């Protein structure tokens, strides 16, 4: 498979197809990938950065803000459109991190992201678009220094996710 064919394989198509491909790759290569020291190290970095971001979000009570927002008519922002931002490698990274990646039961399948669970997003590694989105409900109630901390934690997570994605791309270039 050429690099451009691989990019099309990983980054295009419906989310259900991308999830199916990520599962196939996990079954076929998961054990091998989880024995690679560089992959394991980067996976540890991603998890640590995700925990740091969660702590920051917790300190800002973002869970409560989003729960209240989502309970309003037309509220929430985890839409079925956003679900499409998930690509094969990012879903595979979640599987490698031990996340049970599966489509959630939704009240409205046409509107809501299929990875939105009862207590929020089920994914440890989320698309860049999701991680970078901070709406006015969040921005308006925080001071600039707090928002800067949130951005820094988000950036650290995104950089480590990109590092892991790069390792997976290199691996699949040689093995697909």
Q: Which residues bind ligand SF4 (CB under 6 A)?
A: 65-66, 69-70, 75-78, 82-83, 86, 113, 115-116, 121, 123, 126-127, 130, 135, 137-138
Tell me the three state secondary structure of residue 24.
helix
The smaller minimum CB distance to ligand SF4, of residues 83 and 89, is found at 83
Q: From the CB of 55, what's the least distance to ligand SF4, in Å? A: 17
Most distant pair of Cα atoms in the chain: their distance: 49
Smallest separation (angstroms) from ligand SF4 to the CB of 165: 16
- When the beta carbons of 43 and 116 are compared against ligand SF4, the nearer one is 116
Our measurement of the distance from residue 77's CA atom to the centroid of its chain's CA atoms, rounded to an integer in Å, reads: 15
Helix, strand, or coil here: 79? strand
Q: Which is nearer to ligand SF4, 31 or 136 (CB)?
A: 136
Residue closer to ligand SF4, measured from CB, 140 or 174: 140
| DSSP codes of every residue in 116-154 | EETTEE--SS--HHHHH---HHHHTTS-HHHHHHHHHHH
């Amino acid at each position: 498979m050429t690099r451009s064919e691989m990019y099309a394989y990983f980054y295009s198509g419906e989310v259900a197809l991308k999830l199916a491909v990520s599962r196939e790759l996990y079954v076929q290569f998961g054990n091998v990938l989880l024995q690679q020291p560089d992959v394991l190290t980067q996976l540890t970095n991603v998890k640590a950065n995700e925990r740091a971001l969660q702590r920051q979000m917790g300190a800002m009570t973002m869970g409560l803000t989003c729960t209240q927002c989502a309970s309003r008519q037309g509220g929430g922002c985890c839409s079925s459109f956003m679900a499409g931002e998930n690509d094969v490698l990012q879903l595979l990274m979640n599987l490698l991190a031990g996340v049970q990646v599966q489509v959630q039961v939704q009240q409205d399948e046409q509107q809501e992201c299929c990875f939105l669970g009862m207590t929020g997003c089920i994914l440890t590694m989320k698309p860049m678009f999701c991680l970078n989105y901070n709406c006015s409900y969040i921005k308006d109630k925080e001071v600039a220094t707090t928002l800067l901390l949130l951005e820094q934690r988000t950036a650290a997570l995104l950089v480590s996710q990109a590092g892991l994605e790069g390792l997976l791309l290199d691996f699949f270039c040689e093995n697909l």
